[in-house]
Amino acid sequence: MTLKRQRFPYTTSAGGDATVYSNGSATKQDAVCAKVYAIAYFPGTTDTGATVTVTCEGTGSKPLLTKSTAGTSNLWFYPRDLVHGVADGAALTGTAGGDRSLPIANGTFKVVIASGGNALSGAVEIYYEE
């Protein structure tokens, strides 16, 4: 297994928002088909009230992380999906703390910062295996 990393440096607009796609681009590029292991948030100078949203944009949009009032400390997240039963695709095999699986990302990563303050910067990193 070789983990890969994509870094999403951002600088917020005067309104406090920023949107960054894979490898720091302002447009969709560098699609992946991967298992997501971890997401790191490095707020830099970003305001404490910022909301961080990470998705994978492909044939649909898959949410990977939403953290409101993210704070000003570096944070690590390990997103997981609940697993469905084989006999009934609608039935979950676990609830609180039950079976979990690494989320599958099939498309382009997208990071959105909201309420991050005027012209402030930070970064998000996504760790994944293709």
How far apart are the C-alpha atoms of 28 and 81, rounded to whole Å?
Answer: 24
Question: Which tokens hold the place of 32?
Answer: 């992946």
Rg (CA), the chain: 15
Question: What would the pLDDT profile of 11-27 be if each residue is shown by its tens digit?
Answer: 999 999 999 997 666 66
Tell how strand 75-77 and strand 32-42 pair up. antiparallel
**Is this model's pTM higher than 0.85 or not?**
yes
Cβ within 8 Å of residue 89, ≥6 positions away: none
Distance of CA 43 to the CA centre of its chain: 14
Contact (Cβ atoms closer than 8 angstroms) between residue 29 and residue 13 = no
Amino acid at 103: P
How far apart are the C-alpha atoms of 13 and 34, rounded to whole Å?
Answer: 31
Q: What is the pLDDT of residue 96?
A: 61
Round to the nearest angstrom and report the end-to-end CA distance of the chain.
9
Q: What is the pLDDT of residue 36?
A: 97
Question: What would the pLDDT profile of 35-80 be if each residue is shown by its tens digit?
Answer: 999 999 999 999 999 999 999 998 778 999 999 999 999 999 999 9
Question: Which structural domains are found in the chain, ordered by start?
Answer: 4-129 (2.60.120)
